[in-house]
Structure 1
């Protein structure tokens, strides 16, 4: 994975859009398939995915044979978890349910070395895969996303975005729509949810930060990019497999293929 930290940082700095794939399935093979398919980055989901902590490093190793940059969504705001995934070689972290500027500051602190933060030194696998100069480059190049997915976070958006050291925010449309409307959906087009999603992108870009979002791919990903999102998750291994299987079976049974409605 030579120079993947610098390459990703450079692309984001130039304002390019990063297409991210989402990994729920254990075993590492789907990471290889998704990485070789051409995703710019892949995110291991340790919050809702089926990849346990013991599967973290094998999945990162599978990813290392592909051009995709490795990200991890941690289970929650827990400093040891954040440090562990970075030490294992992730170039970026996505942390769920960040509702306040204090939580955003704690997230950044855990991901940055002193004096900027409180990350403990021990980049075991990170130094192996990113080189001996990793520690000197980590603070500048590691991507730290706070997830905006509740009405409380939306109310605190400006203060969260003003957190020093934060790379950007990442929208979870399922939880955000659930919090705003009482109904979880990934389709953010229309109503209060669309207005919120557009506002998040606009406020994030105004500060020179990176707006990210989860989509199922295709039309939703294009809609997100049109709003200015630059780190766009376009499908998960679980949902893509399920959708492809339904499509083949629907065609063979002479019915109309059923589109995926999975939140993942």
Structure 2
């Protein structure tokens, strides 16, 4: 479960991914073959559970694309199970407080950073991977190769973003721009100064704490803009929408 995404980010590379909503291991393979850096298994809005997510992660490992999971909530089981099956990063939605983030680190990072529960799970080859043979080495490896990424989409998270990004064990922040704009009473108004300033505040907090900044983009133009504004990673659209739009364009071109 060597996490090449972290190495890319530390080298200053920009990473590009998408949300998996279609499901299916073949769909995951196609995302890898397309050359994306990562994809996000969406268990918040999508229908996926732990067993189906594990199959997607296996396909990701085959095609060398990093499997991220947006978990359904900030509870210990949601954090623990997805890490145990091999998720390389967790995006955690609906964060409202600093204490919630501290608990996430407790659930998701092993001793001495957190108190993640130990078991010889798939993430360590059920104890047979080289890095899992010694428990202390296993803890160090997992802590440095799995990412805890709170999602900033609420006023509570935004108002405490400097304190949140400073927490040891937090690896980055993922902005959900739509829900954040709604929280700011500016739904979908991404050029409004209030929304622009909020996004800029998150990026500055990440940079100040040495953490990675990621965001969702619904268009190629906004994805390019976010990279120019200093974001380290962009999740471009959803595979369902890309799929539909591609076929709509094909139909239009052929039948016109």
Structure-1-length-normalised TM-score: 0.88
1:72 matched to which residue of 2? 69
CA contact (8 A) 1:94 1:147 kept: yes
1:11 matched to which residue of 2? 8
1:160 pairs, out of 164, 179, 182, with 164
CA contact (8 A) 1:86 1:123 kept: no
SS in 2 for 1:133: helix
Q: Please, which runs of 5 or more residues in structure 2 have no aligned partner? A: 133-137
1:132 pairs, out of 121, 130, 133, with 130
SS in 2 for 1:181: coil
The answer to whether the aligner puts 1:43 opposite 2:43 as a matched pair is: no
- Paired residues, number: 249
- Shift of residue 123, structure 1, vs aligned partner: 4.3
The answer to whether the aligner puts 1:98 opposite 2:98 as a matched pair is: no
Aligned partners of 2:66 and 2:129: how far apart in 1? 15
- Shift of residue 197, structure 1, vs aligned partner: 1.1
SS in 1 for 2:250: helix
- Shift of residue 132, structure 1, vs aligned partner: 2.9
Aligned partners of 1:193 and 1:123: how far apart in 2? 44
Aligned partners of 1:178 and 1:252: how far apart in 2? 39
Aligned partners of 1:49 and 1:81: how far apart in 2? 14
Aligned partners of 2:44 and 2:28: how far apart in 1? 17
CA RMSD of aligned residues (A): 1.9
SS in 1 for 2:144: helix
2:82 matched to which residue of 1? 85
Matching of residues 1-264 of structure 1 within 5 Å? 4-5=2-3, 7-128=4-125, 131-134=129-132, 135=138, 136-183=140-187, 185=188, 188-254=190-256
- Shift of residue 190, structure 1, vs aligned partner: 3.7
CA contact (8 A) 1:25 1:50 kept: no
Aligned partners of 2:74 and 2:5: how far apart in 1? 24
- Shift of residue 251, structure 1, vs aligned partner: 3.1
Aligned partners of 2:34 and 2:24: how far apart in 1? 17
CA contact (8 A) 1:202 1:228 kept: no
Aligned partners of 2:85 and 2:148: how far apart in 1? 15
Aligned partners of 2:249 and 2:5: how far apart in 1? 34
